[in-house]
Amino acid sequence: ADPDPLQDICIADLDAKISVNGFPCKPETEVTSDDFFFDLSEEGNLSNAFGRAVTEGNVHEFPGVNTQGISTNRVDLAVGGINPPHLHPRSSESSIVIRGTVLVGIITTDNVFYSKVVTAGMLFLIPRGLVHFQLNVGKENVLFFPSFNSQLPGTQFVHSSLFNTTPPIPNEVLTKTFLVGDEVINAIKAAITSAH
Ligand code: GLV
Ligand code: MN
């Protein structure tokens, strides 16, 4: 989904003082072999309310993907863990499952819900911009590696976007949207804020 590159190599200079669509390239005289490799071998920290760890390999962590229109994450889920409903505004997602049993759900703009339980060796495809989630429904930790056709897919979590913004969205918006009282909204806000 990203624009095409205009040169062979453009390792991101993350500290550059100018801003462009993406990042400026560091000088080619400073490029090393390490710029083309990134380590996703470590399991992330699963001790959180969701039992999930997303280790991102976007341009911020892996400057080598700058201008290449591609990036890869690592996702670990504890038993029962969830990667909550979210979307990527700038990217489709193609993911390979390495370990475990995971319920993948996709929700279209027409609110059609597609889902499947997938296991090691299977790919799942999330169309660009659609809400999706992954839930570990097996008896061991889940591991999968999502790849994106963007160096910076962006990740927007539905629950955070409504209940954990800075500053908070006025309660009136949320009570009128969800057709419930302040106490319900306050309870959700408190739970989500303390989980992050
Ligand atoms: C998983 O869906 C991810 O976006 O990392
Ligand atoms: Mn995703």
CA distance 12 to 5: 13
Residues 6+ apart with CB under 8 A from 137: 101, 102, 103, 117
The ligand 1 site (C-beta within 6 Å) comprises 54, 73, 75, 83, 93, 134, 146, 155
Give the distance (Å) from ligand 1 centre to CA of residue 20.
26
Nearest ligand to the C-alpha of residue 144?
Answer: 1
Q: Which of 40, 56, 61, 73 to mutate to test the pocket of ligand 1 (most atoms within 8 A of CB)?
A: 73
CA 44 to chain centre: 14
Residue nearest to atom 1 of ligand 1 (CA): 146
Domain residue ranges in the chain: 164-196
194 alpha carbon – ligand 2 mean position (Å) = 23
The string over 4-42, giving b where at least 16 C-beta atoms fall within 10 Å of a residue's C-beta and e elsewhere, is: eeeeeebbbbeeeeeeeebbbbbeeeebeeebeeeebee
For residue 131, the ligand closest to its alpha carbon is 2
pLDDT truncated to tens, each residue of the chain (196 aa)?
A: 899 999 999 999 999 999 899 999 999 999 999 999 999 999 999 999 999 999 999 999 999 999 999 999 999 999 999 999 999 999 999 999 999 999 999 999 999 999 999 999 999 999 999 999 999 999 999 999 999 999 999 999 999 999 999 999 999 999 999 999 999 999 999 999 999 7
Contact (CB, 8 A) for 16 and 3: no
| Dist. CA 87 → ligand 2 center (Å) | 6
Residue 16 main-chain phi, psi, to 5 deg: -60, 145
Assign 3-class secondary structure to 44-94: CCCCCCCCEEEECCCCCCCHHHCCCCCEECEEEECCCCEEEEEECCCCCEE
Distance 8 CA to ligand 2 centre (A): 28
